[in-house]
Amino acid sequence: MVMKRSRVLAVVVGGVFCVAVMSLYRMLELMQGAELRHRGDTPAGQVDEDLFRLQQKIDRLEQLLSDNNRLVAMLRDSLVHRKVPWETGGGGANVSSDSAHGRADMLSGCRLAEETKDRTGEVQLLDVYDLLPFDNPDGGAWKQGFEIRYHGNEWDEQPLELFLVPHSHNDPGWLKTFDSYYQDQTRHILNNMLVKLTEDSRRKMIWAEISFFSKWWNDIDEQKREMVKRLVGAGQLELVTGGWVMADEANSHYFALLDQLIEGHQWIQRHLGVKPSSGWAVDPFGHSPSMTYLLKGAGLSNIVIQRVHYAVKKHFARQQTLEFLWRQSWDSSPRSDITCHMMPFYSYDVPHTCGPNPAVCCQFDFHRLPGGRVFCPWRIPPQPITEQNVQERALLLLDQYRQKSRLFRSPVLLVPLGDDFRYVESSEWDAQFSNYQKLFDYFDQHPELHIKVSSRNTWEGAGLHFTLSDYSVSFSFETLWATRGAALHTAATEILFSLTLAEMRRFRGDGRPVTGFPAREHFRRLTAGRRSLALFQHHDAVTGTARDPVVVDYGTRLFHSILNLREVLQSSAHWLLLSDKTHYHYDQSKPFLQMDDGISAQDALPQKTSLAISDEPRPLIIFNPTEQLRTSVISVVVDSPDAQVVDAETGRPMAAQISAVWAEPSRASTEAFQLSFVAELPPLSLVVYHVTKALPGSAHRARYTFRCRGNAPTVYTKHFQVSSPRGPEADAPLSLSNKHFQIWSSPDTGLLQKLRLQSGLVRQVQIQFLWYGTRVGVNQDKSGAYLFLPGEEGAQLYSSSEPPLVRVSRGPIFSDITSCFQHFTHTVRLYHLDGHAGRSLEISNMVDVRSEVNRELAMRLVTDVANGNSFYSDLNGFQMQQRRTLAKLPLQANFYPMSSSSFLQDSASRVSLLSAQSQAVASLRPGELEVVLDRRLQQDDNRGLGQGVTDNKLTSSLYHLLLEDRRGVAQEVGGTSVEHLSLLAQLTSLSLCHPPISMVAPSDSQLPKLHPFRPLRSSLPCDIHLLNLRTLEDAQEAGSPSQEVALLLHRKGFDCSSAPEPLPPCTWSAHEEVNLDELFSPLQFRSVRRSGLTLLREDDEPESAPRIARLRPMEISAYRVEID
């Protein structure tokens, strides 16, 4: 009977699908035929309207097809899984894995991420790289280009339309601090802007950095604010991009990139009521498709970019493809397309923007008129425009405009007019505007010249476009050695603060926070933290290309922000944990909860605080800031080697291990001990544990083995078992293992040599350390803050006069091997955990290169993976990008940014290096992967900074290494393979980048009762990441939190070629639709409105019921929600 029902249901499903598909195709065919017949009789002026109607109908059909697909999917799941997709698990669809057939299909969700349609006509930049010789012939006036010719009649039918765009590029910190730049230059620019634009309605200007603009706004009175609004409304002043800063696109993580964009857009909406439509990125060191995706999602329609390799610019210029539609490599549809204008010449200053000859263009930068402080290096100064010279000057300038226009297919020409910190003085405004107005008046009076100065407010890109995917070019090489502490604290605090306010509103029942909780003050601290993190995404901040005092200023801002964010986090957790909420009392000077570590200064690493324990339980609270149930090893420092941990709710003892705290490589502290235990942490939960003293000798203690070639080390410790191998054992490779894999390391250095999986897969994985020097020629450029210019000898293997001390620890929770070298301490650690949490090998380094001169330290993995010349690195933690190591490029050109991950692969295996910090990565030879750990360089590299890189500190780096079996091959798209991290790598990276946060309460028998906080019934689906839960500002009361929250979800793509064993506890779905109410149960949403990525109200969509959200793989979706 059951079989008959299944067959009947299968027939019904098939029939519904066939009828729906045939009906839809027939409807589309009839519509297209009607449109074509109608077009033959339609005047040209109505074509656009007809096309618009057709687009509307196609959109409606797509919606009908989507609804039909959802129905079919639900019927199919009812048949196969006997449940609808959102009925169980983490709110996503369950995928059965109970049989061999289920196991073959268990990664069905990743098919969505791999579906790639025919993409004929697209350009892949890696294919362009293969074509380019990367030579540098002298191009004449355009040194790195070519001679441009034209006949003169090209504009007879359609005049050249000119957009002149006055701009000032204002770095929020570089040679001066943010505040110094504001006081010395920026405020004068904006004050003059207000006066000069008001004087003449024909004058226009663009502005990009909202960090500066908001500071100026706070300084001006209401009358001037109204003047600003009028200028914006009239189109004379346009805010471009609208981010808090012009962000770096190489090192920054996509959470921080989007966060600074939200901060800027929300400020603009609140104070000016407008929405940016154009992007402006003229100074970041390279450009990433992750940024263009965020900009398109934020509602921008076009962008301008500048810093691209000259060979790429020249190639695009010859093809007349400097304007293109930029598409994501993983997207087969035009949804992510954004119009991009690539500036063709060397820089964004006036000499390099009017045309190909900088000596001529410089003559039209009237700030450089004789007698001023700025001059033309080509020694031909500008001339004031007069009646006597206007013809000659206008024709000279027109020649440059025409030459530049021949690089584009469109007769629309964009010409920026500005440079760094321009228009500071009133005289510069007058010189530029008055002289250009005379030139433009001449153009207007001579229509035979066929040039029209546009009166439109916005350049939107025009003409023919081609589509470019996978574009990412790095202009220079630099990494930042700071941790992502500020981003981690911001994300965690945002989520917990939003959950706290929602819980308070539910608790009170009247929609307001509880009395005594400083919601307004906390929101201001949170806002300040957002803005400090946003400021640090500036392309001279996170890159490390600012002067030392400026770096200290950035660090100090982040340091104070972290302290403030911790205060919000502790206060929120305090209220959530109290069983009796009436016991809540906020005392800023004496918080109830404290972090288990402390940060003493802006340039210091966090240090664990030693907890005094006794027979009285000491509450330890662990916050899991992720949407996934996770098994984590939590480590705290206690003052006794006899300690234990129990679950406060159940009284269950937790598996634990006591390890030494090493004051020196061979001397253990006698006053501090590391207590590590395994915690099961539900998603977004606060879990309470009790730490107490244990019976003497009852705690499991790590055992230690020491090796040092040639010298028997003297070890100082009285609480731990220590041994030194002798005889043949001393020469045997070191080996550690858990139930997932086994590693072997060198007995002399302790460095990793080989890794074997439980499946039997064995891979050579050797770790080496390298020194890079710099060029030594007298007249040669050398490495500096901007440039990586290694010596001809390339990398040299690290060597030390003294053999390293090798320390091996073994315990029930983790085992590790630590190698203590002169310039770094290196540790590999494996965890004895069930499930996927024990599948990766943790690698950590503590580096100190302060004694070195012109040296850069790198860590290299040498494997036997047959990856050829290709490898993959991530773009901003958002997506993976194939890279190819090219012999025709210099060594330094084969390094790329790595924000969080990189991997090598062949047909049988993949080796992934997952990182907790941004660094440079390369695969210079097959099977190799290397990252640069720190740089110390004594000289300036002639890029404007005026100093070397000598502010080094003790620097930490943390990774997880993952070896996986794989099957299948990459999806090829135009010669470029589209790949994603595996599901296991995604989950491991999530845990690495969002570690649990530990807090402690006093040890006091009079403490109020604490109860764990578990806001979600289950994990979200494996591939759905809760990017943020950000409380929005109240529309009526500035500086106060509203009841609205920005819910940001990222559905990640994952690779099909590797299946994790054992399966993770989360589920995943082969369908795009999820039910948000079920996803976040038992949280309840009073309202849900889909919006743009920066949550501007004009982007809000009407609320729909039921709350079925369409989450496409790789896409970020934003919702304005109210949580009951």
Residues involved in catalysis = 283
Distance, in Å, from the CA atom of 435 to the CA atom of 454, rounded to the nearest integer, reads: 17
Concatenated DSSP letters of 166-180: EEEE--SSSSS-HHH
Token pair listed for 937: 């360089």
Q: Are 486 and 530 contacting, i.e. CB atoms less than 8 angstroms apart?
A: no
- The H or E element spanning position 771 is strand 762-772
Q: How far apart are CA 692 and CA 659, in angstroms?
A: 16
Q: Are 718 and 701 in contact (CB under 8 A)?
A: no
Q: Is the dihedral of CA 1024, 1025, 1029, 1030 positive or negative?
A: negative
Residue positions counted in the chain: 1124
Residues facing 860 on adjacent strands: 768, 930
In sequence order, the 6+-apart residues with CB closer than 8 A to the CB of 923 are 867, 869, 870, 871, 883, 885, 894, 904, 929, 930
Burial, 449: exposed, middle or buried (Cβ in 10 Å; 0-12, 13-18, 19+)? middle
728-748 burial, b at 16+ Cβ within 10 Å, e below that, comes to: eeeeeebebebebbbbbbbbb
- Single out the residue of 529, 526, 550 nearest to residue 485, CA to CA: 529
> Of 544, 536, 808, 563, which Cα lies nearest the Cα of 666?
808
Nearest to 432 by CA among 197, 233, 652, 649: 197
Mark out the alpha helices in 823-867 (DSSP H runs). none
Q: Whose CA is closest to 283, among 349, 327, 361, 238?
A: 349
The closest alpha carbon to 897, from 542, 330, 309, 479, belongs to 479
Residue found by looking up tokens 């003229």 in the block: 282
What DSSP element (H or E) covers 610? strand 610-611
Contact at 8 Å (CB) between 846 and 1070? no
Q: Is the dihedral of CA 502, 504, 510, 511 positive or negative?
A: negative
User: Whole-angstrom Cα distance, residue 749 to residue 827?
Assistant: 11
Four-point Cα dihedral 729, 731, 737, 741, nearest 10:
-140
The letter for the amino acid at 763 is R
Instruction: Return the H-helix or E-strand segment holding 881.
Output: strand 879-884
Kindly give the pairing relationship between strand 971-973 and strand 976-978.
antiparallel
Alpha carbon distance 162, 866 (integer Å): 53
Contact call for residues 660 and 674 (beta carbons, < 8 A): yes
- Is cis: bond before 1082, omega within 30 of 0? yes
- Return the structure tokens found at 545: 């290309």
Characterise 91 by phi-psi region: left (phi > 0), alpha (psi -120 to 50), beta (else).
Answer: left
Q: How far apart are CA 249 and CA 281, in angstroms?
A: 10
Which region, left, alpha or beta, applies to residue 1013 given φ > 0 means left and ψ of -120 to 50 means alpha? beta
Quote the tokens at residue 852: 């070195």
Tell me the Ramachandran region of residue 831: left when phi exceeds 0, alpha when psi lies from -120 to 50, beta otherwise: beta
What SS3 class is residue 266? helix
Give helix then strand counts, H and E, for the chain: 21, 50
What is the rounded distance in angstroms from the CA atom of residue 19 to the CA atom of residue 64?
Answer: 13
Query: How many Cβ atoms from other residues are within 10 Å of residue 47's Cβ?
Result: 11
